[in-house]
Chains A and B, each alone.
Chain A
Amino acid sequence: EPEVTQTPSHQVTQMGQEVILRCVPISNHLYFYWYRQILGQKVEFLVSFYNNEISEKSEIFDDQFSVERPDGSNFTLKIRSTKLEDSAMYFCASSAQGGFARGTQYFGPGTRLLVL
């Protein structure tokens, strides 16, 4: 069964450093998402991406964050200058179609980011 993959599984970085989290969505999917879960808190939506542009973003997704689909297979989340509060599990998801009536979101295993 096809699945979403994410690398790395764990990343430790120093505050102020840039990090790039990578995701390989399911190959025929067109919609891509990032969510995050701070330890002990809810999984929160960050951003959705379709047709090479952001379609929705939450208040969390400020100017420190950016997303990119650099080639036909990868989908990346960049945090330009990490803060302590960026420490979280980051989940990538993809769906074949938009809207939940048609497009189930499939999630990757997550990248655990620790900012020191």
Chain B
Amino acid sequence: AQSVTQPDIHITVSEGASLELRCNYSYGATPYLFWYVQSPGQGLQLLLKYFSGDTLVQGIKGFEAEFKRSQSSFNLRKPSVHWSDAAEYFCAVAVTGANNLFFGTGTRLTVIP
């Protein structure tokens, strides 16, 4: 069965520092991969997605993620974090033919001055 693991429950970074949020998945084939962000009081907003092709995908708000098949990972990165990036980040996978997403437990990002 497919599953998603986000090993870091909470990460704190300084504003301007780089960021990497980890995501590992378990699935027999290459899934569709997503990163969503949830700011307080807001819905889940799609940051980026990977379906096929170039394994480095660019998203909104300066985020990128790299799909590594050998590691079953899809880590989210940002070279310089802004205070407004403080939020909860969710990695999700979808399997071929299905309409539902499988989410990780989320990583809460705190940004300090």
Decide whether A and B are members of one complex: yes
Q: Is the CB of A45 within 8 A of B46?
A: no
Q: Is A3's beta carbon under 8 Å from chain B?
A: yes
Count of chain B residues with a beta carbon within 8 Å of a chain A beta carbon: 24
Establish whether residues A106 and B101, one from each chain, have CB atoms under 8 Å apart when the complex forms.
Answer: no
Complex Cα distance A5/B102, Å?
A: 22
**Are the CB atoms of B36 and A107 closer together than 8 Å?**
yes
B46 to chain A, nearest CB (A): 6
Interface residues of A (CB under 8 A from B): 3-4, 6, 9, 31, 33, 35, 37, 40-45, 48, 55-56, 58, 91, 93, 98-101, 103-110
Which residues of B come within 8 Å of A, CB atoms?
4, 32, 36, 41-46, 49, 51, 90, 92, 94, 97-106
Query: Which A residue's beta carbon lies closest to that of B6?
Result: A42
Chain A to chain B contacts (Cβ below 8 Å), 18 pairs: A4-B43, A6-B43, A9-B41, A33-B99, A33-B100, A40-B105, A42-B103, A45-B100, A48-B100, A91-B44, A100-B32, A100-B49, A100-B51, A100-B94, A101-B32, A104-B46, A106-B46, A107-B44
Q: Which of B51, B101, B105 contacts A105 (CB 8 A)?
A: B101
